[in-house]
Amino acid sequence: MISRLHTLVGVRIVMAQLDGQGNECSEDVNQSSVTAAMLKQMETTPLVGTGSEFIESLMRSEDADVRLAATRVIEVRREFGDEFDWDEMKKSLLVDLSQYRLEMLRTHAAKSFDGGA
């Protein structure tokens, strides 16, 4: 799951680099041909598992620019992994799980005291 997250981040960063800055808030989005090819490939090879199958499908492309983008995704994914704050992720996860647990227990208790309604 973490590998897939890193792959998604890598794909998003590479597409943003390809499309240029300023596309996030614009209605007139510029989309490069490589980004279009990557999005089309996502329709046939979704990002599941580690995401490596998706990258491999990009590497099989006839378009050299798409293959180059795939290598960039591999590098971005590695760099993101090097800089990823694992301790912060763990703290955040534990807080989220604890809050969810309390919320569910409160909901269950409230329903139990209300006669199961």
The encoded tokens of residue 76 equal 């971005």
Q: How many CB atoms lie within 10 A of CB 11?
A: 26
How does pLDDT run across 54-104, given as a tens digit for each residue? Answer: 999 999 999 999 999 999 999 999 998 888 888 998 999 999 999 999 999
Question: How distant, in Å, are the alpha carbons of 98, 99, 109, 110 from that of 106?
Answer: 12, 11, 5, 6
Instruction: Indicate the pTM of the whole model.
Output: 0.68
Instruction: Tell the burial category of 41 from Cβ atoms under 10 Å away from its Cβ (0-12, 13-18, 19+).
Output: buried
Tell me which of 17-21, 58-62, 70-74, 108-112 is least confident.
17-21
User: Percentage helix, strand, coil, to 5, in the chain?
Assistant: 75, 0, 25
Domain ranges (residues) in the chain: 2-84, 86-117
% the chain with pLDDT above 90 = 55
pLDDT recorded at residue 25:
60
Confidence of residue 117 (pLDDT cuts 50, 70, 90): low
pLDDT at residue 24 is higher than 70:
no
